[in-house]
Amino acid sequence: MKTLILGIETSCDETAAAVVSRSADGHGELLSNVVLSQLKEHAPFGGVVPEIAARAHVTHLDRLIAQAMREAQVPFDQLSAVAATAGPGLLGGLIVGLMAGKAIAMAHDIPFLAINHLEGHALTPRLLGDCEFPYLLLLISGGHTQFQMVSGVGHYKRLGTTIDDALGEAFDKTAKLLGLGYPGGPRVEAYAKRGNAKRFNFPRPLKGRDDCNFSFSGLKTAVRETVYSMGELTDADVADVCASFELAVAETLEDRLKRAFAAFRLAHPDAISPALVVAGGVAANARLRQVFETSAAHHGFVLAVPPFHLCTDNAAMIAWAGAERLALGHSDDISFAARPRWPLDTVSATVYGSGRLGAKA
């Protein structure tokens, strides 16, 4: 018998709703996936403004839920459960989605599932096809940069995290510094394609260190100092900075991946051709995708990168995480509160860098 799950995602600047089905054998099917981006609303500010994001969720969420249900051709009385992102994220937005999910669950007397946004990313490949536990997850987005060892639903071990800034934030800040606009990742990538990546020797943070952590604040500082020292930039200068920045990131990730592969093999020596799952908006970068493919193949891993619309924030991953948890008999009380900070791995010690990302890690 199939379960039908409505998912709701409002953790940041995408308002999203989706419906997925899960069969008894674990096979998943995406029935609808509606995402409304708020990029235009936040672009003038060079980043996400929490109050604007929350108001947009209030304005659009009900309509998007109705659209997702209509596209899935599923009436509310046939739903098995409702899943909503409960954290981590912006508190105002989380509350909007949680309240909507709880209201639907109560109105139709069905289970409610409060989902960790990071767990949604971690389990997405299992919606798309066979992806056996255990596997290695690299999550790279505007708010998160971390390695997680995924051993089962609810079983995660953090191998490494950023001690200061997330990789997506580094891309956005570099783009802002160069006057390229927001979001920065696609714009930096576009300029990098026609630039000279050898012109500037930017640092490769933590390269060679015997752990799986990341650091990008020093790289951002080096880019800023270089740009300020040059005065007025030509178009070629901008392209060269972007290319050199992207190369530094690529070589940093290659080194960090090598450490993470070794740590995974130490924990799971009998795993045969395990998967490297890469999720988050930065996973769309073509130069970095080459690093993932080459590194995974060299270390005996199979690369699994969800399509772009399932790498960035979406409700399909929230619905699927709910389906996986419901299959194990899990559900949450209607009083479950939003958690702006909610680590996926609750066992590993907090990593202290700037003090800002420790609780996210």
The predicted structure's pLDDT at residue 330: 97
- For residue 45, pLDDT over 80 is answered with no
Q: Are 213 and 351 in contact (CB under 8 A)?
A: yes
Distance CA 19, CA 21 (A): 7
Query: ∠357-360-361 over CA atoms, to 5°?
Result: 85
Per-residue pLDDT at 352: 59
Q: What is the average pLDDT across 323-332?
A: 98
Residue range 288-311: mean pLDDT, rounded: 94
Which token pair is 168? 């997506």
Mean pLDDT of 16-39: 94
Query: Which CATH number does 135-308 carry?
Result: 3.30.420.40
Cα–Cα dist 113/137, whole Å: 23
pLDDT digits (tens, 9 = 90+) for 142-163: 888 999 999 999 999 999 999 9
* Predicted pLDDT of residue 133: 96
Segment 312-323 mean pLDDT:
96
Taking only the tens place, the pLDDT of each residue in 199-251 is 999 999 999 999 999 999 999 999 999 999 999 999 999 999 999 999 999 99
In whole numbers, what is the pLDDT of the chain averaged over residues?
93
| The pLDDT of residue 355 is above 60 | no
Interatomic CA distance for residues 293 and 5, integer angstroms: 33
Query: Average of pLDDT values for 322-330?
Result: 98
Could you give phi then psi for residue 158, rounded to 5 degrees?
-75, 125
Which residues on neighbouring strands pair with residue 139, listed in sequence order?
A: 146, 279
Under 8 Å between Cβ of 265 and 202: no
pLDDT over threshold 80, residue 89: yes
Asked whether the predicted pLDDT for residue 353 surpasses 60, the reply is no
Three-state secondary structure along the chain? CCEEEEEEECCCCEEEEEEEEECCCCCEEEEEEEEEECHHHHHHHCCCCHHHHHHHHHHHHHHHHHHHHHHHCCCHHHCCEEEEEEECCCHHHHHHHHHHHHHHHHHHCCCEEEEEHHHHHHHHHHHHCCCCCCEEEEEECCCCEEEEEEEECCEEEEEEEECCCCHHHHHHHHHHHCCCCCCHHHHHHHHHCCCCCCCCCCCCCCCCCCCCCECCHHHHHHHHHHHHHHCCCCHHHHHHHHHHHHHHHHHHHHHHHHHHHHHHHHHCCCCCCCEEEEECHHHHCHHHHHHHHHHHHHCCCEEECCCHHHHCCCCHHHHHHHHHHHHCCCCECCCCCCCCCCCCCCCCCCCCCCCCCCCCC
Put simply, whether the predicted model's pTM sits higher than 0.85 gets the answer: yes
Token pair, residue 322, equals: 């709910």
The Cα 298–Cα 160 span in angstroms is 21
The pLDDT assigned to 219 comes to 96
CB atoms < 10 A from the CB of 201, how many?
Answer: 11
Q: Between these two residues, 56 and 288, which has the higher pLDDT value?
A: 288
Contacts of 271 (CB under 8 A, 6+ apart): 134, 264, 265
Architecture, CATH, for domain 3-129+312-327: 2-Layer Sandwich (3.30)
Delimit the domains of the chain by residue range. Answer: 3-129+312-327, 135-308
Among residues 42, 35, 108, 59, the alpha carbon closest in space to that of 319 is found at: 35
pLDDT at 316 over 50: yes
**CA 89, CA 74: separation in Å to the nearest integer?**
29
Note the pLDDT of residue 346: 76
Do 3-129+312-327 and 135-308 show the same overall fold? yes
57-70 residue pLDDT tens: 999 999 999 999 99
What's the pLDDT band for 117 if we cut at 50, 70, 90? very high
